[in-house]
Structure 1
Amino acid sequence: MRSSLAGCLMVAAMLAQPAYAGLFDDDEARRQVKDLSIQTNERVEVLSKAQIELANQIQMLREENAALRGEIETLTYELDATKKRQQDFYVDLDGRLRKFEGTSDGGDAGAVPGAPGEEEIPPAPRAGTPAGGERTRAQSGGGDPIAESREYEAALNHFRANKVKEAANAFEAFGKKYPDSTLAPSARYWLGNAYYTLHNCRKAIEVHKQVATKWPKHAKAPDSLLGVATCQQELGDTKSARATLESLVARYPSSAAAGTARQSLKK
């Protein structure tokens, strides 16, 4: 009986080992699952915080972008308004000078008249009456002053309407077609302004210098020198710009352009 009892105990012990091992394996698995779950939750929480932060940054960038877009639109509007005011000033000045040229047979060609006036087509030049000491096409026996005035007005209207490229082409064509016209200096002057507006300062300097050199007694000669100095300044050639301004003051001391030049020289 003892040996039978011992045998039964041995068999029971052998059968109990797998059950204990199975119980141990289940606890370990549960612990690992729990650890994995904790790690997963931590990672999810970190990712959630990162997503929220990224969303906040995107929203901030959108708001900054909207603000910058508004500032750009405002600056664009102000720039267009400034260009329009500048063009209106040029057109008004051109009208005054052309009235002066049409009613004066002599005097200081560099002076700018003070009486305001609207831009209008100048009267046809009288034979034997050159404006600013220039030789007219009427004197040389050719040309149509009315047609010249119309083409000049058409080019000027392009500039007035902010069609600067079309204006430049029109003034360039006018200069080639009517090189001896009394409007030729004004056409070259406006061509220089058109190139300046198109950010082609080197071409603007070339054209403005032609006005000051070829028609030194014309009313637009001092303004062209001022245009040369402005372009030289924009190109970073301050030495040449100062020399041009000093030359302008010396040659045309009573002109409005000389007054502007003096103010620039003080800076």
Structure 2
Amino acid sequence: MSLLMGFGKLNLRLFFVFAALWLFVQPSVAGLFDDDEARRAILELRQSHSDLKLSLERFQRATESKLDEDGKKTLEESATLKRSLIELQNQLESLRSDLAKVRGVNEQLAKDLSDVQKRQKDQAQSLDERIKKFEPSRITVDGREFLVEPQEKRDYDVALAILRKGDFSSAQLSFADFLSRYSQSGYRASALFWLGNAQFATKDYKESIVNFKAFIGLGADHPKVPEGLLAIANSQLELKDSKAAKKTLEELVNSFPGTEAASVAKERLARIR
């Protein structure tokens, strides 16, 4: 637009220059040349001025047309760019919305996965617990490790619980039944020991001696063997068999010196003598 105004000012300046020149030279030409020559010179000057004015007008129109075209093109490009920016902004908003949805879906998937994993863990744990009810387990009793069936362990624990409650008659029956059903059980030595104790408590001394001897016969390295020998000697004393009791007590003192049972045996021997 500034270029167009510049050309307009230039056109006016040229017009005034030529007008002044024409007024200035007109008297001079009249003095130098004859009328015909003066008229021709004036006509030529006027023609030159007209041609120049026409050229300037054409240039001005071309320039204005060019500026109009460029301005129109610029406006069109600006409008196109604006539409593109609006479209891009809409796409960005759509992407943000989609991203938020994806994040929401991911969060839900993560929660669902966590829930599934927890359920699987709980189910696996529950399954393990159910399987363990039917699988043998490795336990240690009185320093001895062995495998035991679930039902076998439950039956032994029930018999031992009855004994600890002081129901010696029922405990005697429970341990006898256990030994009958689980003759090869790793609990066998312990079951014989507690059966002998239950029988001693019910004053069944003869059977008590039998089961304590069976217990000792399974292995002299059992930690409760000294107690078993002392229990046999006590049963023999209750049966008034002092000779057998003395022999048992001496065996205890000689075989397991330093044990608590051996100390008790020494006291008993002193009273027997």
Higher helix share: 2
Q: TM-score when scaled to structure 1?
A: 0.46
The structure number with the bigger radius of gyration is: 2
- Relative contact order, higher structure (CA 8 A, sep 6+): 1
Q: Could you tell me the TM-score, scaled by structure 2's length?
A: 0.45
